[in-house]
Homo-oligomer: A and B are copies of this chain.
């Protein structure tokens, strides 16, 4: 009974207890536990079920023929791996776990039915798709224009705000279970450089990161240092 999805959607559209029930209903079907570093689905697969992340972190990623890998999005609790994708013949990217992940598998028809019955949910899901698209564009700008330190800071800000929106932060800290290798794949820099950049942010007092726990003593400061503008997340309510 995790409720992250409800919390997230509630930012996009005014939701009621009834909607919460409907979502819980959806999530209460098949629940699967996937261990870390496994694919939830892979490039080329045919979409069949819709996977909702209940717990743990996953990511979208693309691999080039020669093995280079780019993580293109993080999937946190409350996110959907493949909402809407069942229209496509094949997935054009993969989704893999970063930690152990618990997903709810939903049949597209069931989701469809729920959405038809609840227009507010329909709107909320629709908006969450828009936000995902906006986030992808923000990542393009992040990787294309920002220097390593800003880039990493931007990622930390995004993660913190997204986790906050689903109630997974404390005062000024949250879980951050990615390894430095994974961060390298997400930021488009080498893992050695991730390590050094991390040091810089630490010695600048902007963050601390130990034992998979991220602390941001002054979020405003980190946002300023990273030129982070939160509007693309559309967390408004």
Interface residues of A (CB under 8 A from B): 60, 62, 64-66, 68-70, 72-73, 84-85, 87-90, 92-93, 123, 126-127, 129-130, 132-134, 136-141, 143-146, 187-188, 227, 231-232, 234, 236
Q: How far is the CA of A140 from the CA of B62 in the complex (A)?
A: 9
Instruction: Indicate if the CB atoms of B234 and A70 lie closer than 8 Å.
Output: no
Contact call A87/B127, Cβ cutoff below 8 A: yes
A136 to B140, CA, bound (A): 7
- Cα of A111 to Cα of B65 in the assembled complex, Å: 41
Whether B87 pairs with A227 at a CB distance below 8 angstroms is no
Contact, CB under 8 Å: A87 / B134: no
A72, B143: Cα distance in complex, Å:
11
A64 to B143, CA, bound (A): 12
Query: A-B pairs with the 6 shortest C-beta distances?
Result: A144-B188, A136-B136, A70-B141, A92-B232, A72-B137, A62-B141
Q: Please state if B137 and A137 are interface contacts (CB–CB under 8 Å).
A: no
Q: Which residue of B is nearest A133, CB measured?
A: B133
CA distance A138 to B70 in the complex (A): 9
What residues of B have a CB within 8 angstroms of the CB of A85 in the complex?
130
Min Cβ gap A164→B in Å is 18
Which B-chain residue is minimally distant from A188 (CB atoms)?
Answer: B144
Enumerate chain B residues within 8 angstroms of A139, measured Cβ to Cβ: 140
Known: A64-B227, A88-B234, A89-B234. 5 other contacts (CB 8 A): A65-B227, A73-B137, A87-B127, A92-B232, A144-B188
- 25 residue pairs from A and B, CB less than 8 Å apart: A62-B137, A64-B141, A64-B145, A64-B227, A69-B145, A70-B140, A70-B145, A72-B141, A87-B123, A87-B126, A87-B127, A89-B236, A90-B231, A92-B231, A92-B234, A93-B137, A93-B232, A129-B129, A129-B133, A132-B133, A139-B140, A140-B140, A140-B143, A143-B144, A143-B188
Q: Which residue of B lies closest to A13 (CB)?
A: B87
By the criterion CB–CB under 8 Å, are A140 and B88 in contact? no
**Nearest chain B residue, comparing its CB with the CB of A189:** B144
A65, A93, A134: residue with the most chain B Cβ atoms closer than 10 Å: A134
- Find out whether the CB atom of B145 lies under 8 angstroms from the CB atom of A68: yes
Of B72, B87, B89, which one neighbours A140 at CB under 8 angstroms?
B72
| Nearest opposing residue in chain B for A65, CB measure | B227
In the complex, which of the residues A84, A146, A188 has the most CB atoms of chain B within 10 Å of its own CB atom? Answer: A188
